[in-house]
Amino acid sequence: MRQAISSCLFVLMCFAFEAVLVPPTSAASSQSGTASAQTLAQGKKLVMSNGCAGCHNAPGGATLVGGRVIGGWTAPGLTNDKRTGLGNWSAGEIADYLKTGRNSYAAAAGPMAGIVTNVTAKMSEAEVDAIAAYLKSLPGKAANIRPVAASNPAMIRGGAVYADECAACHTLRGVGQARLFPALKGSPEVQADNPTTLLRVVLQGAQSVGTEAAPTASAMPAFGKLLNDQQIADVLTYIRNDWGNAAAPVAKDAVAAARKTLQKTP
Ligand code: HEC
Ligand code: HEC
């Protein structure tokens, strides 16, 4: 209900802007690409003044492309890139995540949980909409990565682990369950160049935040004791490369290294 109201408001706002600024075009174009310069500037200002870039800029400084590791979490890219950014999320879905801590694609955990609770959930609808419009305006980098072949032994082993341990919640097609179990298909986090967050989530589990708008938090169980290094490497390689996803495979050694690091920084 609330979601329906907020996306409704969002669309109305776009129409209002359009009516003032440009002759009305198709309904689709009101979804993205036609936010006013004023909205984009407000969104950029909110992103800069709330420290988003401090975590979401690349280690080298590139704007909001992600890749920094903070306490065992990789901050994902926030540009409009389809593979490593928010290209698959509509502006309304970005606003929903910032306001409620989740949407049909993801739930905020790790350092982002605190940012949602203390910062973005307290913003007005107009403010989160402005941030969403600004993020959608950032071009993606369009890297051309080939998926690991389905016939690769790691993919076959990983697919079996996935069917046994993960599909009950995330579904066999990787689409998850809206607002409960995040979709792994098309997820920038799952396809991030640096798999630190994935290793942490699967080894230790994760607990997302409850917000006023969506009070019940769901949890991801820890698999660190249940699965060995090879099984975790295989299942991660699998989710990074099925359903149209594409990303470098995860090696068994990376799982062993992550176990050691996580023991030191729980
Ligand atoms: C302290 C570091 C930090 C700060 C500051 C921060 N973020 Fe994040 N953000 C993260 C991490 C880490 C994740 C991944 C969370 C997860 O896996 O659940 C994330 C996830 C996100 C996502 C979801 C992306 C996805 O693909 O799942 C969005 C959108 C986002 N942040 C926007 C923002 C905005 C807007 C701000 C500023 C108001 C901000 N973040 C500030 C660390 C941060
Ligand atoms: C009991 C249900 C359940 C099972 C089983 C489960 N998960 Fe999850 N998973 C979740 C929930 C809930 C979240 C969201 C956690 C959060 O961030 O709050 C999640 C989050 C994730 C994420 C982070 C996605 C994102 O964008 O935030 C990954 C990756 C993931 N799970 C992979 C797996 C893998 C691989 C398996 C099997 C080894 C698995 N899950 C089994 C419920 C489950």
SS (H, E, C) 51-119: CHHHHHCCCCCCCCCCCCEECCEECCCCCCCCCCCCCCCCHHHHHHHHHHCECCCCECCCHHHHHHHHC
Q: Going by CA atoms, what residue is nearest to atom 3 of ligand 1? A: 55
Note whether 159 and 102 are same-domain residues: no
pLDDT at 129 over 90: yes
pLDDT of residue 107: 86
pTM for the model stands at: 0.67
Note whether 18 and 72 are same-domain residues: yes
**Is 147 inside a domain boundary?**
no
Helix or strand holding residue 244 (H, E): none
Residue 84's closest CA among 222, 194, 218? 194
CATH of the domain at 208: 1.10.760.10
Q: Domain count of the chain?
A: 2
Summarize pLDDT for 204-263 with one digit per residue, the tens: 998 766 667 666 667 889 999 999 999 999 999 999 999 999 999 999 999 999 999 888
Note whether 57 and 120 are same-domain residues: yes
Cβ of residue 54 lying under 6 Å from some atom of ligand 1: yes
3-state secondary structure of 181: strand
Cβ of residue 131 lying under 6 Å from some atom of ligand 1: yes
Atom of ligand 2 nearest to the CA of 239: 35
**Is 176 inside a domain boundary?**
yes
**Is 145 inside a domain boundary?**
no
CA gap 26, 160 in Å, rounded: 45
Last residue of a domain, one of 103, 136, 169: 136
Last residue of a domain, one of 83, 110, 136: 136
**Is 61 inside a domain boundary?**
yes
Task: Show the domain range for 27.
Answer: 2-136
Q: Going by CA atoms, what residue is nearest to atom 25 of ligand 2? A: 106
Q: Going by CA atoms, what residue is nearest to atom 8 of ligand 2? A: 220
> In this structure, what DSSP letter does residue 148 have?
P
Note whether 17 and 127 are same-domain residues: yes
Note whether 172 and 252 are same-domain residues: yes
Q: Which of 105, 170, 189 to mutate to test the pocket of ligand 2 (most atoms within 8 A of CB)?
A: 170
Task: Tell which wins on pLDDT, 29 or 212.
Answer: 212
Structure tokens at 185: 């298909």
SS3 content of the chain, % helix, strand, coil (to 5): 45, 5, 50
